[in-house]
Amino acid sequence: MIHSPYIRNNASVRSVMLMVLLALLPGVAAYAWKVSPAILLNLAIATATALLAEAAVLALRRRPLAPALGDLSAVVTAWLVALCFPPIVPWWLTVTAVLVAIVAVKHLYGGLGQNPFNPAMVAYCAMIVAFPALMSQWPPAGGLPFEMQLQLILGGVRDVDAITGATALDAMRTGLRAGAGTVEAVRDDSAFGLLGGRGYEWVAAGYLLGGLFLLARKIITWHMPVAFIAALALISGLFWLVNPAQFASPAFHLASGGAMLAAFFIVTDPVSGATTPRGKLIFAAGIGLIAYLIRAFGAFPEGIAFAVLLMNMCVPLVDMKTQPAVFGHKKGVSR
Amino acid sequence: MIKRLFNFHGGIKPASHKSESADAPIRPAPLPHRLIVPLRQNARASARCIVETGERVLKGQRIGEAEGTLGTAVHAPTSGHVVDIAEHPMAHPSGLDTLCVVIEPDGEEAWIEHAPFDYRSQGRLATLTWLRDCGIVGMGGAAFPSHIKLGSGKGMDTLIINGAECEPWITCDDRLMRERAAGIMAGVRILRELLGARRVLVGVEDNKPEALQSMREAARADTDIEVLSVPTLYPAGGEKQLIRVLTGIEIPHGKLGSEYGVQCFNVGTAHAVHRAIEHGEPLLSRVVTLTGNMAQPANYEVLVGTPIEHLLPLAEPREDTDRYLLGGPMMGFALPDLSVPILKGSNCVIAASPALFPPPQPELACIRCGACARACPADLQPFELYWFSRSRNFGKAQEYHLFDCIECGCCAYVCPSHIPLVDYYRFAKSEIWARERDVKAADQARERFEFRNYRQEREKAEKAARLAAKAAETKAKLAQKPAGADGDAAAQGEAAAEDPKKALIAAALARAKAQKAAVQPRNTDNLSPEKQAEIAEIEARRATADTGTEPSRAASEEKS
């Protein structure tokens, strides 16, 4: 027997995921236009792999296929994996990464809603640890002929050191580590644009636009993006104020790497993130802080993925300790 | 002066669907062939039947007497004959039976003698008793006895009158406020006086401008009654939500408004109080909205006890109607049986069709998006409660304030995974109640068992002591005998000759008995060391466990 309420609004997981995909489009467009159209091929490979893997696991688990495939959550995971990888990684790397995300991180934990870790971020970490070289070959924005990009993806000869450059974050890190350079000197590198990486900063702007759309549609709340951006800006600003020669500005940190993608699309993953208002602030701020520390002092140029996983581990504790006061139990409200 | 309003967390704005029935004036419903008047009007109390089958009753005659603290009287809604006193299904999701007085109306509507009640000279206590005997209960749905709410009275700061009517489709309070504002206000003044309230705040959702208008007009002369337009946001008409909106006070779960100086009554209740005091009429009827998939949505003044199936044709349900809801779509329930009667708290019957109320989509996994938490007017984290309820982790569910949930349905309304969240909470709550009952039963069984053991031990000891005393007495007698026998008469000698023999036999018997009582093995003696260890462990567990949660165990022990 069906019980009250007998009416529902028309929200669905599918529409939520569709909104997220829509919101990613400005970033994807900027990516294809300013950096590398090959990203579209990567997105296609990732999407196909994700849907096939999802279907296969569902069949193995004897679950109905249609609802889970139709909810588009696998497509969102696939897109996030593809978007945080270099656009010229060979196809099998993308396939492996998506398999890790869908099969291991999502379904081995019980499927949608059950995974304690962000699938795309686990995939990223697994791949950067397993294939550090492939994962750090970023093409200079618009600097690689499309044919060559396709060849690289589809398994051509990889003599890429000559053609790929370092990302802005990478250049900054190695430049500063070398000891001789200052921020100003390093920034003369061709990898840099106005604020962040040349070309890539437009992609970041696209993500920001999409993120504002998600906020406007109330798919995400303000807590996570604001806390993440504020924490990253605050800590990078602190170091920058103390020693502007050796530490990049907050604007650079926010505009480069995956900061904007993370702020609106990765940190905000509801399944693996904190859920209470205060918990969301702590969770996202923690990611911002850890990501900066890894960028500035760690072994990897980009630390967001590791930061996300570290904070994923804290979620149960954070949620438990930040339960909001319920009606009638708030301080200073009822007499 | 514009009063500042407060807001509560969450809430939803479903399509209101008020216009279907809002313009239909209240009309009296025709007399049914039979009235089925339940003696039980709410979950907590049932009235004691004081009429017999075959008896003629007059309109307003008391047929059920208030019993228990939360009891109220029940009356014959019209004149006629009592044709049966029997169990009948009740308007409740369970459809369980309750004792009802079945009355066949004679169509004369002959009133019992009644007169206004002078509450000012009669005193407070007598007035409350009068309201109880007029069967006045909350007409917003819960049918809580009004005299109990008024009882905590005196020194109240604010009286809140609930005219919010926040559930979609329902318009009975709207119509009542439009048409009988003067009566409502008269009731409000009585309630205010009984409570000694300093001020009265009437809350009406701003989607009912006509009701607001007529209520304001009715209250124009009263400086201490404010009729306030509150934003339309479900569930603004929830008692605690409305108190919050109007006063900023949040009343925690399990607390009464009176502890915070506020008390809240529905507009319908205020009107019923007015009829009871100023006309001496008990509560016999109420306004019921008939709407939904109906050709003629309407508002009817319906006698309590009218079977719902008698009402439905009045509004002409359409062909594709597949079920009927009692109450609103957010908190009402589908009627298991259309022969059930209208109660004092039944405000609306909605004809449902697959088009108007589509069947729910399949339940998907929770993605922890938190939409439910943003919609929850009780500031709960509904998805956490869902996880805990689903995994039967009821302790955790309670820790996360499961019982603060008012089952308003906002969470389920917004859930993108279409999870019937409220059903999970209902399940968890009933499981917890069932467990508490079990624990109570186990406690009682254990106490009985322990007392029985104690009693047996005591009786054994007493018996042993008695026998030992008797044996000692006999021995003493025997020792005395030879000395006394020497210089005694013949009669005594005869007795003595018989006595020692008797005494010896008695003493031997007593010794044997005493011995038997002392060393009789318990069924737990003479067991292997393993068994004894096991028994000791069970004893220890019984002692430490805060209570035996398994009544079966305690019960079986009791038998052994």
Q: For B297-307, how does the pLDDT look when each residue is reduced to its tens digit (9 = 90+)?
A: 999 999 999 99
Residues of B in contact with A329 (CB under 8 A): 252, 401, 404
Looking at the fold, whether A157 and A19 belong to one and the same domain comes out as: yes
Rounded Cα distance between B107 and B60, Å, is 14
> How far off is chain B from A105, nearest CA to CA, in Å?
15
Residues 6+ apart with CB under 8 A from A55: A65, A69
Beta-carbon separation of B168 and A13 below 8 A: no
Rounded Cα distance between B340 and B333, Å, is 13
Q: For chains A and B, what is the number of CB pairs under 8 angstroms?
A: 145
**Domain for residue A301, yes or no?**
yes
CA distances from residue B204 to B46, B141, B511 in whole angstroms, order as listed: 32, 17, 87
Q: How many CB atoms lie within 10 A of CB A324?
A: 16
Looking at the fold, whether A223 and A269 belong to one and the same domain comes out as: yes
Looking at the fold, whether A233 and A133 belong to one and the same domain comes out as: no
Q: Which of A1, A2, A8, A220 to mutate to test the interface with B (most CBs of B within 10 A)?
A: A8
Q: Is residue B290 a contact partner of residue B314, using CB atoms and an 8 Å limit? A: yes
* CA torsion angle A232 A238 A243 A249 (round to 10): 40
Residues 6+ apart with CB under 8 A from B429: B402, B403, B405
Residue B300 DSSP label = E
H-only helix segments in chain A: 13-30, 38-60, 65-70, 73-84, 91-99, 119-130, 146-154, 168-177, 183-186, 200-216, 223-242, 250-255, 259-261, 277-297, 304-321
Looking at the fold, whether A129 and A25 belong to one and the same domain comes out as: yes
Per DSSP bridges, beta strands B298-303 and B26-28 are parallel
Q: What is the CATH number of domain B19-315?
A: 3.40.50.11540
Looking at the fold, whether A45 and A145 belong to one and the same domain comes out as: yes
Per DSSP bridges, beta strands B323-326 and B225-230 are unpaired
Q: What are phi and psi of A7, to 5 degrees?
A: -120, 150
Q: How many CB atoms lie within 10 A of CB A293?
A: 15
Q: Which of A73, A271, A328 shows the shortest C-beta gap to B368?
A: A271
Beta-carbon separation of A112 and B365 below 8 A: yes
SS3 for B198? Answer: coil
Q: How many CB atoms lie within 10 A of CB B504?
A: 12
Of the candidates A250, A37, A23, which has an alpha carbon nearest to the alpha carbon of residue A141? A37
List, as ranges, residues 301-320 from B with C-beta within 8 Å of A.
none
Q: Which residue of A has its CA nearest to B323?
A: A2
N- to C-terminal Cα separation, chain B = 75
A106-142: b or e for each residue (b if 16 or more CB lie within 10 Å)?
A: bbebebbbbbebbbbbbbbbbbbeebeebbbbbbbbe
Looking at the fold, whether A133 and A232 belong to one and the same domain comes out as: no
Looking at the fold, whether A87 and A217 belong to one and the same domain comes out as: no
Residue B108 C-beta-side C-alpha neighbours within 13 Å: 12
Rounded Cα distance between B385 and B424, Å, is 8
Q: Which of A23-27, B321-325, B556-560 has the weakest average pLDDT?
A: B556-560
Read off the pLDDT of residues B215-248 as tens digits, 9 standing for 90 and up: 999 999 888 999 999 999 999 999 999 999 999 9
List residues of chain A with CB under 8 Å from any CB of chain B: 1-9, 11-13, 15-16, 67, 71, 73, 111-114, 221, 270-271, 273, 275-276, 319, 323-330, 333-335
Rounded Cα distance between B265 and B286, Å, is 15
Alpha carbon B1 to chain centroid, angstroms: 41
Rounded Cα distance between B461 and B470, Å, is 14
Read off the pLDDT of residues B491-506 as tens digits, 9 standing for 90 and up: 555 555 566 677 788 8
Read off the pLDDT of residues B529-556 as tens digits, 9 standing for 90 and up: 777 777 777 877 877 765 544 444 444 4
* pLDDT attached to residue A156: 61
Higher-confidence residue of A153 and B208: namely B208
Q: Is B141 on the interface with A (CB under 8 A)?
A: no
Q: Which of B242, B348, B413 to mutate to test the interface with A (most CBs of A within 10 A)?
A: B413
Q: Roughly what angle, to the nearest 10 degrees, separates helices A91-99 and A73-84?
A: 130
SS3 for B217? Answer: helix
Rounded Cα distance between A159 and A148, Å, is 11
Of the candidates B169, B141, B100, B64, which has an alpha carbon nearest to the alpha carbon of residue B339? B100
Residues of the domain holding A19? 13-165
List, as ranges, residues 252-281 from B with C-beta within 8 Å of A.
252-253, 255, 260
Q: For residue A197, what are its two tokens?
A: 């990486």
* pLDDT attached to residue A66: 87
**Domain for residue A7, yes or no?**
no
* pLDDT attached to residue A158: 64
Average pLDDT for residues B195-204, to the nearest whole number? 92
CA distances from residue A112 to A107, A108, A125, A263 in whole angstroms, order as listed: 7, 10, 20, 22
Q: For residue B392, what are its two tokens?
A: 């039967």
Residues of B in contact with A111 (CB under 8 A): 365
Of the candidates A252, A117, A120, which has an alpha carbon nearest to the alpha carbon of residue A197? A252
Per the document, the length of chain A is: 335
Q: For residue B430, what are its two tokens?
A: 């009933």
Residues of B in contact with A2 (CB under 8 A): 334, 359-360, 420
Asked if residue B559 has pLDDT above 70, the reply is no
Query: How is B392-436 classified by DSSP, letter by letter?
Result: T-HHHHHHTTGGG-----HHHHH-TT---HHHHHHHHHHHHHHHH
When divided into structural domains, chain A yields a total of 2
Burial class (CB in 10 A: 0-12, 13-18, 19+), B536: exposed
Average pLDDT for residues B345-349, to the nearest whole number? 93
Looking at the fold, whether A141 and A268 belong to one and the same domain comes out as: no
Average pLDDT for residues B137-148, to the nearest whole number? 87
Rounded Cα distance between B422 and B413, Å, is 10
Looking at the fold, whether A154 and A261 belong to one and the same domain comes out as: no
Tell me if the bond preceding A116 is cis, omega within 30° of 0: no
Strand partners, B62: B75
Residues of A in contact with B412 (CB under 8 A): 5, 8
Residue given tokens 């996300």 in the structure block: A308
Looking at the fold, whether A109 and A203 belong to one and the same domain comes out as: no
Looking at the fold, whether A107 and A156 belong to one and the same domain comes out as: yes
Alpha carbon A80 to chain centroid, angstroms: 6
Read off the pLDDT of residues B457-467 as tens digits, 9 standing for 90 and up: 999 999 999 99
Q: For residue A34, what are its two tokens?
A: 């300013």
Q: Which of A1, A2, A3 to mutate to test the interface with B (most CBs of B within 10 A)?
A: A3
335 residues of chain A, pLDDT tens digit each: 468 899 999 899 999 999 999 999 999 999 999 888 889 999 999 999 999 999 999 999 998 888 888 899 999 999 999 999 998 899 999 999 999 999 999 999 999 999 999 999 999 999 999 998 888 888 877 777 777 788 888 876 566 665 666 677 777 777 676 665 667 666 666 667 666 677 888 899 999 999 999 999 999 999 999 999 999 999 999 999 998 888 888 998 998 888 999 999 999 999 999 999 999 999 999 999 999 999 988 888 888 999 999 999 999 999 999 999 999 887 755 44
Of A146, A165, A184, which closes a domain?
A165
Asked if residue B521 has pLDDT above 70, the reply is no
* Sheet containing B62-65: order of strands: B48-49, B62-65, B74-75
Per DSSP bridges, beta strands B97-105 and B35-38 are antiparallel
Tell me if the bond preceding B235 is cis, omega within 30° of 0: yes
Residue given tokens 């795309």 in the structure block: A120
Residues 6+ apart with CB under 8 A from A204: A27, A196, A254, A255, A256, A259, A260, A261
Of the candidates B141, B137, B218, which has an alpha carbon nearest to the alpha carbon of residue B173? B141
Rounded Cα distance between B7 and B14, Å, is 18
The 3-state DSSP composition of chain B as helix, strand, coil percent (nearest 5) reads 40, 15, 40
H-only helix segments in B180-266: 181-195, 209-218, 239-247
Q: Which residue of A has its CA nearest to B326?
A: A4
Looking at the fold, whether A66 and A109 belong to one and the same domain comes out as: yes
Q: What is the helix (H) or strand (E) element at residue B285, kind and residue range?
A: strand B285-292
Q: Is residue B291 a contact partner of residue B312, using CB atoms and an 8 Å limit? A: no
Q: Is residue B39 a contact partner of residue B89, using CB atoms and an 8 Å limit? A: no
**Domain for residue A208, yes or no?**
yes
> How far off is chain A from B404, nearest CA to CA, in Å?
8
Q: What is the pTM of this model?
A: 0.82
List, as ranges, residues 367-396 from B with C-beta within 8 Å of A.
367-371, 373-374, 377-381, 383-384
**Domain for residue A230, yes or no?**
yes
Rounded Cα distance between A82 and A97, Å, is 9
CA distances from residue B87 to A320, B95, B305 in whole angstroms, order as listed: 49, 12, 13
Read off the pLDDT of residues B407-447 as tens digits, 9 standing for 90 and up: 999 999 999 999 999 999 999 999 999 999 999 999 999 99
* pLDDT attached to residue A172: 74
ipTM, two decimals: 0.88
> How far off is chain B from A68, nearest CA to CA, in Å?
8
